[in-house]
Copies of this chain bind each other. A is one copy, B any other.
Amino acid sequence: MRMDEMTTEEFRAAVSKDPVIIVPIGGTEAHGPHLPLGSDTFQPEYIAEKVSESVEGVIVAPTMPYGQHSSMRAFAGTVTLSFDTLRSFVRDILSSLSESGVKKIVLISGHAGNSHLCAITEACREFVRDNDVSVMFFSDYFIAEEYEKCQIDGDGHAGMVETSRVMDIRPELVNDIRPVGKFRGCGYMVLPDASECFPDMMQGDTRGASAAFGKEINDFVITRVADMIRRDF
């Protein structure tokens, strides 16, 4: 069930049954030489849709396709919101859904950058303090990392796990390049351009990436998220 495909009447009927609304938060961000800019959008949106299919009473709100990005900011195609805009966006969405009578909201973020997550967290925390609404928030990237086979040393942004996942979801958008890249630690200096730490625009060894492995991971994430929703609300 996609919220944007429902009429107001259908949505009202659904709300009367105390549904869980998932709001996917994506991003438009350089993802190495091989993955599309929308990778962080496609993943949480896909997870949300699959969870909605498997758990009764889960509705997927429209995906926000922009987030806050620092490390990839200097690479072409990264579009970044400021911290404050992202935080305000989340505040407004929570507040507006809550005005519609929604009591259970899940935010799934594709991007897992610190400040990006912090902006969303800050908005959520403030909201739950003042409202009687249950909010769950995570990055599907972290759920994927709970999968044992995903605990690969040095794997990260646009790496083995992410490449495989996008190959499963949108195979036509992944080209034939399979890059290997290292994160270059920069100590504790605050860098004007954090892309210095990503000379390869990605991190990990994607040579073994496959749609099949991606499916395994995505299935794991879908099951895990479905379980969390059933258990924690």
Interface residues in chain A, defined as those with a beta carbon under 8 Å from any beta carbon in chain B: 2-9, 11-12, 15, 26, 28, 30-38, 41-42, 61-66, 70, 73, 75-85, 88-89, 91-93, 96-97, 99-101, 114-115, 118, 121-122, 124-125, 127-129, 134-138, 170, 173, 175, 187-192, 194, 201, 228, 231-232
- In the bound complex, residues from chain B placing their C-beta under 8 Å from that of A78 are 8, 96, 100
Cα distance, A46 to B11, chains bound together (Å) = 24
Whether A125 touches B190, Cβ cut-off 8 Å, given contacts A38-B62, A66-B93, A118-B115, is: yes
Cα distance, A42 to B5, chains bound together (Å) = 10
**A40 shortest CB reach to chain B, Å:** 9
Cα distance, A227 to B100, chains bound together (Å) = 37
Partner of A64, one of B66, B93, B187: B66
- In the bound complex, residues from chain B placing their C-beta under 8 Å from that of A175 are 7
- In the bound complex, residues from chain B placing their C-beta under 8 Å from that of A135 are 189-190
- In the bound complex, residues from chain B placing their C-beta under 8 Å from that of A188 are 136-138, 228, 232
**Contact assessment for A118 and B114 in the assembled complex, using a CB-CB cutoff below 8 Å:** yes
Partner of A34, one of B7, B35, B61, B114: B7
**Contact assessment for A121 and B129 in the assembled complex, using a CB-CB cutoff below 8 Å:** no
**Contact assessment for A88 and B84 in the assembled complex, using a CB-CB cutoff below 8 Å:** yes
**Contact assessment for B76 and A12 in the assembled complex, using a CB-CB cutoff below 8 Å:** yes
Cα distance, A37 to B6, chains bound together (Å) = 6
- In the bound complex, residues from chain B placing their C-beta under 8 Å from that of A11 are 37, 76-77
**Contact assessment for B118 and A36 in the assembled complex, using a CB-CB cutoff below 8 Å:** no
**Contact assessment for B77 and A88 in the assembled complex, using a CB-CB cutoff below 8 Å:** no
- In the bound complex, residues from chain B placing their C-beta under 8 Å from that of A76 are 8-9, 11-12, 15, 100-101
**Contact assessment for B70 and A62 in the assembled complex, using a CB-CB cutoff below 8 Å:** no
**Contact assessment for B28 and A7 in the assembled complex, using a CB-CB cutoff below 8 Å:** no
**Contact assessment for B79 and A189 in the assembled complex, using a CB-CB cutoff below 8 Å:** no
The 9 tightest CB contacts between A and B, nearest first, are: A4-B38, A62-B65, A12-B76, A11-B77, A118-B118, A8-B30, A138-B188, A85-B88, A124-B190
**Contact assessment for B3 and A31 in the assembled complex, using a CB-CB cutoff below 8 Å:** no
